[in-house]
Amino acid sequence: MAEKEGKKQIPLRVSAALYEALAAWAEDDFRSLNGQIEYLLTECVRRRGRGGKLPPGDGDGCA
């Protein structure tokens, strides 16, 4: 099975309430739900100081 370069697929299970909140937030930010989740995870990792190879961000995804 060929993977996109640099991208990994992971299964993710979230509650219905969290899914709806993320979907609404993604829509507000003009992103796909997957794109929003990736953005938020990237920002949180960066803010925790664990993002050694992460590209620079431009927002406040992790409050």
What's the pTM?
0.71
Upper half-sphere CA count for residue 48 (Cβ side, 13 Å): 9
Least confident of 2-11, 32-41, 52-61: 52-61
pLDDT at residue number 20: 98
Buried b (16+ CB within 10 A) or exposed e, 5-32: eeeeeeeeeeeeeeeeebeebbeeeeee
9-43 pLDDT tens trace: 999 999 999 999 999 999 999 999 999 999 999 88
Residue spans of alpha helices (H) in 1-63: 16-28, 33-47
Residue 59 has pLDDT above 90, yes or no: no
15-24 pLDDT tens trace: 999 999 999 9
Tally of CB atoms within 10 A around 1: 3
pLDDT at residue number 35: 95
